[in-house]
Amino acid sequence: MNHFDLINGVLHAEDVALPDIAAAVGTPVYVYSRATLERHAQVFRNALSGLDNPHLAFAVKSNPNLAVLKVLAKQGYGADVVSGGEMDRALAAGMAAQDIVFSGVGKTAEEILRALKAGIGQFNIESEEEGAELAMLAGSLGLTAYAVLRINPDVDAGTHGKISTGKADNKFGVGIDRAPEIYARLSALPNLHMRGVALHIGSQLTSLEPLETAFNKVGVLVQALRDQGHIITHVDLGGGLGVRYRADDNPPEPAEYGDMVARVTKDWGVRLMFEPGRVIAGNAGILLTRVIRVKPGSGNAPFVIVDAAMNDLARPALYDAWHDFEAVAPNGQKMLANIVGPVCETGDTFAMGREIDPVQANDLAIFRTAGAYGATMASTYNSRGLVPEVLVDGDKFAVVAERISPETILAAEHVPDWLK
């Protein structure tokens, strides 16, 4: 459920008419709904109510906007971060350092040192090499780092290849077969307190089966580690729960996920940790765009050229992702169209041969389910500005990330003296 609905024939975000946002901020612009973010945060938490004190860490990569993080911090969420930049955002949003998990396959020594000094609650180590470096760096500061070892369970998540992370040939974690020996060596290091394991097999999972298979493998591993004498207190089950992008998508409900987790982990005796991203933010945001013009195509579907492009919303170009397209003031009829942006490559295509609300030049429209992996993946390709973000709360809204103009970007570039 989300709060982007028609009121008197005009799409609103909560109680704000989208044309009012377009008039005030221009287009393209991302629009987030606070009520939807809060609802999703609560639904996910409730789904895990059968567990003992689960730790919820919002995957900042899915939507790192400071105001969005603030909304989730107020909901009691911590953060899963994968860079120093994300860590700074989570801290700036008021999340406690203790509630932040530092993931990522390529943490630099500088990032690790900064995270140690900030008192980050847990490092999710992705290799023996990283664990050794973490121990050494913690020692240099006279600190102890709390860590879990990310394992790669070699399970096919059944999602797009570019967002699968749990197959043996993916770069993430250590192979589950090698985990016991690596865990033993890391546990022996000073300044490193190993307390469990982590996994994350991929994103936009539309079936619980691969998750259950992977969790069961982790359960076996936890027992094997305990048999070796290790004290396992934490298991981080990652994120990955999919959302509905189109009407016939049928992702698992958070409650079904929660039931499965409770059943599979009931004897583990650990604190479970979660890193949801998309399931919280995905349907809490839309990308508002304006039709520049409509031109005939080769068949019977015209090209609807909108002012949003692949630099603003990269998912269709990168993963052939589907985002519903709707007119802000639909008239109830339908037309067949190809929806494209202004960027000069064919990849800048949002949909081909899609049945959509009829639109013409200057009409406003939205791409739905753009709250996760939307603005954060924007670029300035084709020397376009960086897309702004707006947060709606009831009948008020605020710009929570400014549009960064092409002029501002140009001003940060310099021609060296020797070239003048």
Give the catalytic positions in this structure: 344
Cis status, amide bond into 28, omega within 30 of 0: yes
Amino acid at site 370: A
Using the minimum distance from each CB to ligand LLP, give the nearer residue, 35 or 372.
372
Query: Which residues of this protein are in contact with ligand LLP, per CB under 6 A?
Result: 59, 61-62, 80, 103, 163, 165, 200, 203-204, 238-241, 275-279, 315, 319, 372-373
Instruction: Please state the closest distance from residue 336 (CB atom) to ligand LLP, in A.
Output: 27
Using the minimum distance from each CB to ligand LLP, give the nearer residue, 270 or 377.
377
Using the minimum distance from each CB to ligand LLP, give the nearer residue, 12 or 200.
200
- Distance (Å, rounded) from C-alpha 118 to C-alpha 330? 50
Instruction: Please state the closest distance from residue 417 (CB atom) to ligand LLP, in A.
Output: 40
Instruction: Please state the closest distance from residue 201 (CB atom) to ligand LLP, in A.
Output: 10
Using the minimum distance from each CB to ligand LLP, give the nearer residue, 131 or 276.
276
Using the minimum distance from each CB to ligand LLP, give the nearer residue, 183 or 373.
373
**13 phi, psi to nearest 5 deg:** -105, 115
Residue 36 exposure: Cα atoms within 13 Å on the Cβ side: 27
- Distance (Å, rounded) from C-alpha 150 to C-alpha 153? 9
Task: Tell me how many helices (H) and strands (E) the chain has.
Answer: 12, 21
Instruction: Please state the closest distance from residue 311 (CB atom) to ligand LLP, in A.
Output: 14
| Paired tokens of 52 | 């003992």
Instruction: Please state the closest distance from residue 178 (CB atom) to ligand LLP, in A.
Output: 19
Instruction: Please state the closest distance from residue 276 (CB atom) to ligand LLP, in A.
Output: 5
Using the minimum distance from each CB to ligand LLP, give the nearer residue, 58 or 397.
58
Query: Between the CA of residue 376 and those of 198, 205, 389, what are the distances in Å?
Result: 25, 20, 10
Beta bridge partners of 4: 13
Concatenate the DSSP letters of all residues of 332-391 into one string.
Answer: S--EEEEEE-SSSSTT-EEEEEEEE----TT-EEEESS-SSSSGGG---GGGPPBPPEEE
Using the minimum distance from each CB to ligand LLP, give the nearer residue, 257 or 397.
257
Using the minimum distance from each CB to ligand LLP, give the nearer residue, 239 or 341.
239
3-state secondary structure of 80: strand
- Distance (Å, rounded) from C-alpha 335 to C-alpha 420? 53
| Paired tokens of 330 | 């639909």
Q: Describe the crossing of helices 128-141 and 109-118 by its angle, rounded to 10 degrees.
A: 50
3-state secondary structure of 125: strand
- Distance (Å, rounded) from C-alpha 96 to C-alpha 90? 8
The radius of gyration of the chain's CA atoms, rounded to the nearest angstrom, is 23
Cα end-to-end distance, the chain, whole Å? 57
Query: Distance between alpha carbon 416 and the CA centroid of its chain, in Å?
Result: 38
Instruction: Please state the closest distance from residue 410 (CB atom) to ligand LLP, in A.
Output: 28
| Paired tokens of 411 | 């001003």
Judge whether 66 and 43 are in contact, CB under 8 Å: no
**CA-wise closest residue to 307 among 390, 363, 374:** 363
Instruction: Please state the closest distance from residue 372 (CB atom) to ligand LLP, in A.
Output: 6
